[in-house]
Structure 1
Amino acid sequence: MNVLAVESSGMVAAVALAREGKLVGEYYLDHERTHSQHLMPLIDQLLYGVGIKLSDIDVFAASKGPGSFTGLRIGIATVKGLAQAVDKPVLGVATLDGLAYNLISREGLICPIMDARREQVYTSIYRSKGDLQRLDDYMAIPVVELIQKLKTYDEPVMFNGDGVAVYWDIIKAELGDKALMAPINLLTQRASSIACIALERFKSGDAQNYTELLPFYLRKSQAEQKFAKKG
């Protein structure tokens, strides 16, 4: 059973292949070129490297958001096009779930934070005990509000996501030693986490037609917000 996953919700462009409970390969780039330039060459390299054809993929997976509106559209369009070409199902995985999965080997609280601008973050709160349990909704909230939520937990919490670089000073000042930063290799989105989550779900019978795969934005784009105000 082969799962090909794409992660394009932030600055990173990444693709990964998982098979029967193990990661077979992953390509990861954090570069100024756009995802539309990166993704297909990365997919071609990955398939060539592991010696399989596109038709050998059983399910295609995409990080569905929240995140960059443009990046999500590119990644999802890529996955839908590939799935349609070989008539295979797809799965969308919440980006925050993928970030939390990066830290699944750690026991305790996990809090992925993605910079949503204007001093807000996309986030949720998870507990890991060998598996992953989400304790709160997917949220787009001010970072100070998230900190107040986390103060109600009397235990350390590990953070990852691109919001760490932006908001670490205020988080550390408010939470002190309870605030832990993830190792650098687990800080950002990984296609391997999307692939592993999708593989587990697909084995449980979860799958979609490519036409059903949609981005999960959490909030409207700035252009949509401006239009709504004018209306």
Structure 2
Amino acid sequence: MNHPVILAVERTQRSGGVALQRPDGDIDSVLIEGVDRRNDQLLPAIDRLLNSADISPSRIDCVGVSIGPGSFTGIRVAVVLAKMIAATSSARTIGIPSALVAAETCSQDPGVDPGTHVWVVSASKDDSCWLTRLERTDEGWSFLEPASLWHPRMQGPVAERQGILLADEFCPASLTEAASEAGWARFQSRLDPIACLHIAIDRFNHGDCVQPDALAPLYPREPEAVRLWKGRESSG
């Protein structure tokens, strides 16, 4: 049985990588550590992955991209690259909110039991953050409600539900305290390219793809680089 050739790209954090499902169903991955502003690391990683599997870019059936929130540059490059691959291979594309990748990565860690409810924190700034509330069912991860910006005036995790908080070191202290008071454990948020691939495979099998033109980064706020550029334009 031939499986669809699916490429997954996770580049929302300083560490990330790419993963590939081969026609025989085997999965390979290449990790990318850190950021090199002078040299692109993503395209060489994809090239190395395809060469090791003896697969040409034209054979890619789908590209799944972790669309954020996260690194402005990393996400933008990943989305543009996915569109380029789709344009040359007629591959379909899938945009995957990075919170799903974080939750799936956590669920694959044998040392962590995520339970059924996971709150994923990203794009923290001052006392606010982008908060995604997820629930795990037999069908996989689903959104309890649309993700949104959280601030201290809003209600924290619900005490009667048991779950975990996935966040980095920039998580607002008020949200960390609310989660602790509710009895929730907190773990470092990690995003693994193989977890991204698992979600992409599931969505591809369910026909949950988008046209490449519709693939776009998820920015909870106006990117800082854009805000500064507009400020220089208005002052000039």
Fold equivalence (TM over 0.5):
yes
Residues 156 and 180 in structure 1, CA contact (< 8 A), matched pair in contact too: no
Residue in 2 aligned with 1:102? 105
Structure 1 counterpart of 2:125, one-letter code: R
Q: Please report how far the alpha carbon of residue 224 of structure 1 lies from its aligned counterpart in structure 2 after TM superposition.
A: 4.6
Task: Tell me how large the CA RMSD over aligned residues is.
Answer: 2.9
User: Which has the higher mean CA deviation after the structures are superposed, 103-112 or 15-24?
Assistant: 15-24
Find the partner of 2:56 among 38, 53, 68. 53
Residue in 2 aligned with 1:64? 67
Pair 1:24–1:155, CA change in 2 (3 A): same
Instruction: Kindly indicate whether residue 171 of structure 2 is the aligned counterpart of residue 149 of structure 1.
Output: no
Cα distance between partner residues in 1 of 2:69 and 2:16: 15
Q: Please report how far the alpha carbon of residue 99 of structure 1 lies from its aligned counterpart in structure 2 after TM superposition.
A: 1.5
Instruction: Kindly indicate whether residue 192 of structure 2 is the aligned counterpart of residue 180 of structure 1.
Output: no
Residues 104 and 132 in structure 1, CA contact (< 8 A), matched pair in contact too: no
1:175-214 Cα deviation digits (max 9, x unpaired): 33722234x6xx3122222222221121122323322212
Find the partner of 1:135 among 133, 144, 156. 144
Structure 1: runs of 5 or more not aligned: none
1:108-148 Cα deviation digits (max 9, x unpaired): 21111113322322221111134212112111223x356x3
Q: Please report how far the alpha carbon of residue 19 of structure 1 lies from its aligned counterpart in structure 2 after TM superposition.
A: 5.2
Q: Give the alignment's TM-score, normalised by structure 2.
A: 0.80
Equivalent pairs counted in the alignment come to 222
Pair 1:121–1:138, CA change in 2 (3 A): same
Q: Please report how far the alpha carbon of residue 4 of structure 1 lies from its aligned counterpart in structure 2 after TM superposition.
A: 0.1
Q: Give the alignment's TM-score, normalised by structure 1.
A: 0.81
Pair 1:165–1:116, CA change in 2 (3 A): closer
1:50-76 Cα deviation digits (max 9, x unpaired): 332222221111112222222211110
User: Which has the higher mean CA deviation after the structures are superposed, 17-26 or 72-81?
Assistant: 17-26
Residues 129 and 171 in structure 2, CA contact (< 8 A), matched pair in contact too: no
Pair 1:212–1:124, CA change in 2 (3 A): same
Higher relative helix content: 1
User: Which has the higher mean CA deviation after the structures are superposed, 170-179 or 212-221?
Assistant: 170-179
Residues 35 and 71 in structure 1, CA contact (< 8 A), matched pair in contact too: no
Residues 16 and 33 in structure 2, CA contact (< 8 A), matched pair in contact too: yes
Q: Please report how far the alpha carbon of residue 20 of structure 1 lies from its aligned counterpart in structure 2 after TM superposition.
A: 8.0
Find the partner of 1:212 among 206, 211, 214. 214
Structure 2: runs of 5 or more not aligned: 109-113
User: Which has the higher mean CA deviation after the structures are superposed, 34-43 or 118-127?
Assistant: 34-43
